[in-house]
Amino acid sequence: MTPPRPVLPAGAAPQPAPKTEPAAEVQEAGWDDLLLGSTPTAESYSAVEEAAVLYANTRVAEAIAVLETFLRENTASRDLQPWLLLFDLYQSQGMKQKFDELSMEFVVRFERSAPVWEPPNAVPSAPVAASAPAAGPTVRLEGMLDGGAEQAIQRLLKLAEGKVPVRLDLAQAQGIDPSRAQLLAEVLLMLRKAGKYLVLAGAQEFTARVKAYTEGAGRREPAYWRLLFELYQFQNRAQEFEDAAVDYAVTFEVSPPSWEPVAGLPAEPATESPASPAQTGGEVESDVFRLEGVLDAASEYRLKELARFAEGRSEVVVDLSRLVRVDFMIVGSVINTLINLNQAGKKVTLSGQNEMVHALFEVMGVRDFAQLARRKAR
């Protein structure tokens, strides 16, 4: 399968990424030095390419089989990349016994320590189903959320009864009335109490709109505060939750709500700024643009946000350390975005991606338009 062909800006030719020296943190990003010292063969490149494309199409079991077959049939190969890809897949799928067996083989073959297995709650990349896309059903809330949005909000609760994580897309939501704010807050509370994992898209801007209500005409409306607290909970924005809780207590002269961490969410980064909060699906920090989860058609709008983030910057760092997978059909859009940034004179670094995403980028020629710094080895 061939991905969509990148479209060059009118009258422009693709320009490779500037060949400047990477920053110190990029130079220390992991296995690059070792990989440069190994010798890829035509067979290993073919296996890497096939596995990367299969994974990008959510055919995880087949990707694992390709790499296992290569290692079994090429015992003399000193190429590290197929090994690292297989470690990455075993880790992401929770296959610890296979990981440990591969570690023993790796130590014997290369006479050096193998990558380290991480506890499930420390692994940025969540398991990806072998037979279905990582993203579950989506509920989109658009425009002004009033009586017409009630059915969609109720549908969110119904879909969450299943085992697949539900995606709540708030990117096009322009506002919400008090009744629907109350309803959405109640639904989010029920999902949180039930331990349901919710993938949020476009939550940052929507949360800002809800916060604006609590600072303006809706300040005395408890529903807006309840919704704000639930949005903070699902985005793991503890500090902003606590700040809002103090404001709430002063406004209503009652005890504020307490922070209750949502199971399965990563700890809030210490360097995160309140103006650039973390959110499932992606975030923008002061100097780094972050992509998380799965980059696919449903989250393609994040590439437009990256372009906006790059305005006024000569260097653009994109943190992919919590990106699970890049869908094969979105690679063309990624390359188009990078080409446009190159044409605008930007130096782009894609940093911290897992081995599978890194391999896909290598195979599809992303290195021509951005520096690639894979995730550090552990």
For 75-115, write each residue's pLDDT tens digit: 888 888 899 999 999 988 889 999 999 999 998 888 888 88
What is the C-alpha to C-alpha distance for residues 200 and 90, in angstroms, rounded to an integer?
26
Token pair for residue 80? 């590290």
What is the C-alpha to C-alpha distance for residues 4 and 367, in angstroms, rounded to an integer?
17
Residues 6+ apart with CB under 8 A from 283: 204, 276, 277, 290, 292
Provide the greatest CA pair distance for the chain: 72
pLDDT at 1 over 60: no
* Strand pairing report for 288-295 and 282-284: antiparallel
What is the predicted pLDDT for the residue at 11? 44
∠ CA(302), CA(303), CA(305), 5° rounding?
60
Q: What is the mean pLDDT of residues 134-157?
A: 85
Q: What is the mean pLDDT of residues 144-149?
A: 92
- Dump pLDDT digits (tens) for 287-325: 789 888 888 887 788 898 899 999 989 999 999 988 889
pLDDT at 44 over 60: yes
Q: Edge-to-edge strand order for the sheet containing 138-140?
A: 138-140, 166-169, 198-201
pLDDT above 70 as % of the chain = 76
- Rounded to a whole number, what is the distance in angstroms from the first to the last CA of the chain? 34
Token pair for residue 173? 């939501």
- Dump pLDDT digits (tens) for 213-256: 999 888 999 999 999 999 999 888 888 898 899 899 989 988 88
Residues 6+ apart with CB under 8 A from 19: none
Phi then psi dihedrals of residue 14, to 5 deg: -65, 135
What is the predicted pLDDT for the residue at 6? 47
Report residue 39's pLDDT band, with 50, 70 and 90 as the boundaries.
low
Query: What pTM was estimated for this model as a whole?
Result: 0.54
Query: Cα dist. 270→178, 277, 288, 341 in Å?
Result: 33, 11, 14, 29
What is the predicted pLDDT for the residue at 108? 87
Token pair for residue 377? 């080895």
Domains along the chain with CATH numbers: 24-122 (1.25.40), 138-252 (3.30.750), 282-374 (3.30.750.24)
Average pLDDT, the chain: 79
